[in-house]
Chain A
Amino acid sequence: MRNLYAIYRKEMGHYFVSPVAYVVVGVFLILSGFFFSRIMEAVIQEALEAAMQGMQFGGAMPVDVPGIVLRGFFNVISFFLLLFTPALTMGVYAEERRRGTMELLMTSPVTDEQIVLGKFFASLSLYIIMLLPTLCYAVYMFLHSDPAPPWKLLFASYLGAVLLGGALLAVGSFLSSLTESQLIAAILTFGVFIILWVIEFAARGGSGDLSALFQYLSVTRHFDDFSRGVIDTSGVIFYVSLAVLGIFLTMRSVDSMRWRRA
């Protein structure tokens, strides 16, 4: 446990002295802030129009403004994650391999599992730190909207974002362990994420087992449930198993570094 913490601590320290983390988190926050305000404006506009129509013709349907805004916002976030998480994980192993520090870790009394888990939890922490500031949008809505935004929707959306992020980080770390080049790691990861995303389109319109399988494998489709406020066990299981698979493969890959020609 102490070893795992030592690795975790080192990784966190690394994130906060290197410019990569600041750039990734900064750009993510700027873009998400921009999209949040655009989405909110658009939804309020629609809600006003609907209300005016309701007044003209009677029987107005109340529009759930905060709910729609949150849903739209989290759909954008889930898309951003596919773009930004590769940058968080690209260096995790590739850089250590290139610098030869992997040799230090692997000749220290630290198990491969401790190395992999320490690194995974560090990247997950950084990712949660990246998401945290977006909570202020929710606070803003609680202060200014009537009806108040639904708690359950907010909670489910953040839970979904953390689960999705965890799965993507685990897969990204694995891909980083395959190469010594950060750039190759980033491009590989990006490619795999895009495939995991568009696989849903391939399934659309089709029927049968294959199409159902593709639908199940799409990383963003499960996220839709969360952003609708539904905590679906199948979604939770999907993300957790994807993360566990990624972590397991990383452990195998780290172990195999010993068997490859140096």
Chain B
Amino acid sequence: MIEVQDLTKSYGAVTAVDHISFSVNKGEILGFLGPNGAGKTTTMRILTGYLPATGGTAKVAGFDVFEQSMDVRRHIGYLPENPPLYNDMTVATYLDFVARIKNVPPGSRARRVDTALEMTNITDKRDELVKRLSRGYKQRVGLAQALVHDPDVIILDEPTVGLDPKQIIEVRRLIKGLAGNHTIILSTHILPEVSMTCDRVVIINHGKIAAVDTPENLTSQIKGGERVHVEVRAPEKALSDLLRQIPDVRRVSVETHGNVGRVSATVETAAGKDVRSQIAAKIVGQGYDLFELRGVNLSLEDIFLQLTTEDPAHKATEN
């Protein structure tokens, strides 16, 4: 449904999105996870046809976002970071206007507006002026706006920001319910949000894709492992065999540097196990020269450190 190839966007010398590629299947919910300023919003804006890319291609529902922008826009519902609302309209008039500019046929317009109101649970606010609504309701009107023309693809930029815990749960349930008939991309900087709603996650940092995987795999990767980097003068094969003998070691990858006989190895272990002293003992015991031994942070971890792992909705249900 969505195919992105080598997409790049630079503003002068600053590269906001740097050669990213990913695809989203029909009916899937894809999460964009990354700290603020990672390039999530820029990528979404390119997909919706709001911003032109500097390079690469992107296709939505089979249409190129640059060449066939109008077709793409017809197939997309988009909720920007700040819901694009007209303060002096009522909720129903606003949704009617959006339905008009999204080319909903006149015959089904009233029905579509009613459905969008129901789905986002704001039917009782339909005649209220937008400016009198609370932040949470405004966010839901923004969501209704993205759904009103029943688009194939829905792009939501931080859809749960500013909502109270109860509303967050409602919105997540709504998004999950939309999957199947709709293809959804949502961005967030809250880690648990992704595992709760998304089928797959793209982790973006500094405009680059750091990882693409299912939430389960990613969490086990991140939470369940430590890495140690060693540099030794030893035969490659012997070193790798030696390191594998250590209990709790899961994976060893060995690489030879230049021709001085030095070999560097990365040792992955189960979480919470520190095998550094055992590695040192083994290597010295074999009489190899040990040049370096240090723990390595997973690059994903760096990113995750900047993410919010605390889920506001979760906190409230506990209390």
Contacts and interface: CB of A to CB of B under 8 A. Distances in A.
B145 interface: yes
A101 B78 contact: no
Given A6-B101, A10-B97, A107 B87 contact: no
Contact of B102 (A10, A103, A108, A261): A108
Contacts of B97: 6, 9-10
A106 B50 contact: yes
Nearest to B69: A109
Contacts of A7: 101
B84 A103 contact: yes
Contacts of B85: 99, 101
Interface of B: 11, 41, 45, 48-52, 70-71, 73-74, 76, 78, 80, 82-89, 93, 97-98, 100-103, 145
Contact of A262 (B51, B71, B84, B103): B51
Interface in A57-116: 99-111
Contacts of B102: 108-109
Interface residues on A, range: 20 to 34
Contacts of A3: 100-101, 103
A7 B103 CA distance: 12
Contacts of B83: 100
Contact of B145 (A9, A13, A104): A104
25 contacts: A3-B100, A3-B101, A3-B103, A6-B100, A7-B101, A10-B97, A14-B86, A99-B85, A99-B86, A99-B87, A100-B82, A101-B86, A102-B84, A103-B50, A103-B80, A103-B84, A104-B98, A105-B101, A107-B49, A107-B73, A107-B76, A108-B98, A109-B70, A109-B102, A262-B41
A17 B128 CA distance: 14
Nearest to A115: B101
A259 interface: yes
Interface of chain A, helix or strand or loop or mixed? helix
Interface of A: 2-3, 6-7, 9-10, 13-14, 17-18, 99-111, 258-259, 261-262
Name the residue in A10, A99, A102 with the highest tally of chain B Cβ atoms < 10 Å from its Cβ. A10
B100 A107 contact: no
Contacts of B84: 99-104
Contact of B88 (A14, A105, A111, A259): A14
Nearest to B42: A262
B48 A107 contact: yes
B52 A258 contact: yes
B73 A109 contact: yes
A99 B83 CA distance: 9
A108 B104 CA distance: 11
A19 to B, nearest CB: 10
Given A13-B93, A101-B85, A107 B70 contact: no
B45 A262 contact: yes
Contacts of B89: 13-14, 17
A109 B50 contact: no
B70 A111 contact: yes
Given A262-B45, A262-B51, A107 B86 contact: no
Nearest to A106: B50
B73 A108 contact: yes
A259 B101 CA distance: 23
Nearest to A5: B100
A105 B49 CA distance: 11
Contacts of B11: 261
A55 to B, nearest CB: 61
B80 A258 contact: no
Nearest to A111: B70
Contacts of B78: 104, 107
A101 B130 CA distance: 13
B7 to A, nearest CB: 16
Name the residue in B41, B52, B86 with the highest tally of chain A Cβ atoms < 10 Å from its Cβ. B86
Given A107-B73, A108-B102, A258 B51 contact: yes
A37 B80 CA distance: 53
A230 B314 CA distance: 76
